[in-house]
Chain A
Amino acid sequence: MTDPAVQLEGVSFDYPRGPRALDGVDLQVASGELVAIVGQNGSGKSTLVRHLNGLLRPTAGSVTINGRRVGRRHVAELAREVGLAFQNPDRQIFAGKVRAEVAFGPRNLGRRGAELDAVVERALAIVGLTGDEDTNPYDLGFSRRKLLALASILAMETPIVILDEPTTGQDARGISRVQKIVADLSAAGLTVIAISHDMRFVAESFQRVVVMRAGRIVLDGPPQAVFAEESWPTLASTYLEPPLAARVGARLGLGLATPTEAALVSAIAAQATVR
């Protein structure tokens, strides 16, 4: 039996001069799982994922990545296992050219020459920035800087990929692109964990949804369960709402949760056939 990709046991974290951001979190993510983390602003989502690559160390409890305790392991070593794309790309971008920005991570992991060029090209192709190799990152609009930050993480080819709000600032095509990237990474066997406020994206693209409130996990299950009517009061208590498709399904009394538009249409079609 393989070790879980991520295991958190009783993890608490207090920011200096700040509130308790995590309060006894237990979470296990199997290798290859596709997990969304949702919750109100300030509920601890970004704090949680920053424990997975060692940027933050728990005040109490333990974090284990691929079977090895994070403990005092160095951030540079964890970077081989966990790639984290920040919510704000400007906290991540620093190079003068797109190519150099994307090459930075894999170069630090020891890639050189043709091998390095290949991973950079591949990552840029995945996010749709081929042709912008010589562009200054700050000449890109926010949405493309966000995709650049994502490419920099993909180029490190880590088995665990964490995306903090990947659809922020993206238009419809950008969201579709992010959805395809997530699906492709998952199909390739990677463990993908994303934080998002975009409930439609979460319902359509993820197998498991973890809901946080005030530093704790309050719901954990597939979208069909987390967005089902009986979960709504809990969602509302952490300032979330189910996608409109789920609300329409409930209003129509379809008897099963319809978190996506596709699920709504097929549930209505199935009901029509029965009649």
Chain B
Amino acid sequence: MSLQMRGATYAYAGTKAIVLAGVDLDVEPGRVVAVVGPNESGKSTLCLVAAGLAPAAIGGRLSGSVVLDGQETATLKPHEAAQRCGILFQNPATQLSGTSVTVWEELAFGPRNLGLSIEEVAERVEAAMATLQIGSLAERDPHRLSGGQAQLVALASVVAHRPTMLVLDEPTSQLDPAGTRLVGDALARLAESGTAVLLVEHKTGLVERVADQVVLLVGGRVETVGPAATVLADPRLDEFGVDPPPSARITRALAAAGHADRLAGIDLGALEAEPIAAVGPGGGG
């Protein structure tokens, strides 16, 4: 098991408010577990706890057990947690090392700190850039990217580290639809190669496509957990402030209007997953 949480309960330093309350969660190698839930339900905190940064790096009180790659995170130092688990923060600006002049160097920062040979560092950087299709940004200043480009660079820098477990806090929040699709493809490939992925994501269309299991987190508690198709079809999602996937919304809207039959023979999930054809950059305009 890459990550095993049992009764994880957490409060930030200097506060009494319980942000996570008795969370049980398992992420196995090669699996994508998505966490959905309303704003302020504890999703970002769950990321920090799962990656071992809370309490090791930011303090706070953790009870229950969080085991990352066979070891209780409470006993890990931040750099030891970082070697087991890569975390992508919600705000890509938080992620940048602040020491790199180019995107290439930014991606090399993590692997270099692992003490790898320059050839190995270069190989990892190139592979990460290819995975997220950001080769054209290699020579750019990482502090002068658009929000979405910065988000892809931040994700690539975590991927270049090649952790066995990835924790991603809304990796597509600033991405265009094609960027979101790209991240979905990248996550699927990483999982295929054995990486365990914990994905916090509001875009349930993406969750539907990549997640094996979905956890619905409400008020710091696991409200429900199960296979993606089951949880995403839960009629209570709306009630909890979680947007159902577009396919479910359309199915329900047509059923409510008495026209469910018009969708016969149309696989909405497949339609959504299928990219539309592009014209070259010179045409169409």
A residues near B (Cβ < 8 Å) are 15, 17-18, 38-42, 45-46, 87-88, 90-91, 141-144, 165, 168-175, 197, 199-200, 213-214, 216, 218-219, 232-245, 247-248, 251-252, 261-262, 264-265, 268-269, 272
Chain A: minimal CB distance from B242 (Å): 6
Contact with A along B125-145 (1 / 0, CB 8 A): 000000000000000110011
Q: In the bound complex, do residue B145 and residue A42 qualify as a contact, i.e. CB atoms below 8 Å apart?
A: yes
Residues of B within 8 A of A268 (CB): 254, 257, 259, 262
Q: In the bound complex, do residue B254 and residue A265 qualify as a contact, i.e. CB atoms below 8 Å apart?
A: yes
5 tightest A-B contacts by CB?
A: A41-B148, A239-B178, A236-B278, A234-B284, A218-B285
Residues of A within 8 A of B44 (CB): 141-142
Q: In the bound complex, do residue A251 and residue B271 qualify as a contact, i.e. CB atoms below 8 Å apart?
A: yes
Taking a contact as CB atoms closer than 8 A, the residue among A45, A169, A213, A244 that contacts B246 in the complex is A244
Q: How many A-B residue pairs have CB under 8 A?
A: 169
Evaluate whether A41 and B259 lie within 8 angstroms (CB atoms) in the complex, with A90-B91, A213-B285, A261-B250 already known.
no
Which stretch of B21-29, B167-175, B186-194 is in the interface? Answer: B167-175
Chain A: minimal CB distance from B52 (Å): 21
Evaluate whether A173 and B39 lie within 8 angstroms (CB atoms) in the complex, with A213-B281, A233-B284 already known.
yes
- Is B279 on the interface with A (CB-CB < 8 A)? yes
Q: In the bound complex, do residue B259 and residue A169 qualify as a contact, i.e. CB atoms below 8 Å apart?
A: no
Q: In the bound complex, do residue B93 and residue A88 qualify as a contact, i.e. CB atoms below 8 Å apart?
A: yes
**Bound-complex Cα distance A22 to B242 (A):** 37
Taking a contact as CB atoms closer than 8 A, the residue among B170, B176, B247, B280 that contacts A40 in the complex is B176
A143's closest neighbor in chain B, by CB? Answer: B39
**Bound-complex Cα distance A172 to B239 (A):** 10
**Bound-complex Cα distance A251 to B268 (A):** 10
Evaluate whether A264 and B250 lie within 8 angstroms (CB atoms) in the complex, with A90-B91, A241-B178 already known.
yes
Residues of B within 8 A of A172 (CB): 38, 238, 241-243
Q: In the bound complex, do residue A233 and residue B178 qualify as a contact, i.e. CB atoms below 8 Å apart?
A: no
A19's closest neighbor in chain B, by CB? Answer: B140
B262's closest neighbor in chain A, by CB? Answer: A268
Chain B: minimal CB distance from A26 (Å): 13
- Is B95 on the interface with A (CB-CB < 8 A)? no
**Bound-complex Cα distance A165 to B219 (A):** 26
**Bound-complex Cα distance A131 to B93 (A):** 29
Evaluate whether A237 and B178 lie within 8 angstroms (CB atoms) in the complex, with A142-B91, A252-B262, A265-B257 already known.
no
Residues of B within 8 A of A15 (CB): 144
Contact with A along B242-285 (1 / 0, CB 8 A): 11001101100110010100110010100110011111110111
Residues of A within 8 A of B93 (CB): 88, 90-91
Taking a contact as CB atoms closer than 8 A, the residue among B151, B180, B243, B283 that contacts A237 in the complex is B283
